[in-house]
Amino acid sequence: MRLDHPRLADGVTMRDVTFRSPSLAREMTYRVFLPLKIGEGQRLPAVYLLHGNGGGYRDWSNNSDVARCAAQGLILIMPEGDASYFMNAVEKPRDRYEDYLVRDLIADVEARFPAKSGRANRAIVGVSMGGFAAVTLALRHPDLFTFAGAISPAIDVPERRFTWKRAGQWWAFRTIFGPLGSKERQARDPFVLLQSADPRTVPYFYLTAGEQEPLLEPIQRFAARLGKHGLAYEFHTKPGGHDWPEWDQQIPGCFESLFLKLRAVRGNLG
Average pLDDT by stretches of 10, the chain with 270 residues: 86 98 98 95 96 96 97 97 97 97 98 96 98 98 98 93 66 92 96 95 96 94 96 94 93 96 68
CATH classification of the domain holding 38: 3.40.50.1820
Tell me, yes or no, whether 5 lies in a domain. no
Tally of structural domains, the chain: 1
Q: Which of 63, 73, 4, 3 is nearest to 33 (CA)?
A: 73
Q: Which of 155, 176, 177 is nearest to 222 (CA)?
A: 155
* Residues 48/101, Cβ–Cβ less than 8 Å: yes
Tell me, yes or no, whether 120 lies in a domain. yes
Tell me, yes or no, whether 150 lies in a domain. yes
* Residues 157/82, Cβ–Cβ less than 8 Å: no
Tell me, yes or no, whether 56 lies in a domain. yes
pLDDT at 160: 79
How many angstroms separate the Cα of 133 from the Cα of each of 4, 6, 98, 148? 24, 23, 9, 10
What's the CA dihedral at 165, 83, 122, 189 to 10 degrees?
40
pLDDT at 171: 84
What is the span of the domain harbouring residue 82?
12-266
Tell me, yes or no, whether 2 lies in a domain. no
pLDDT at 127: 98
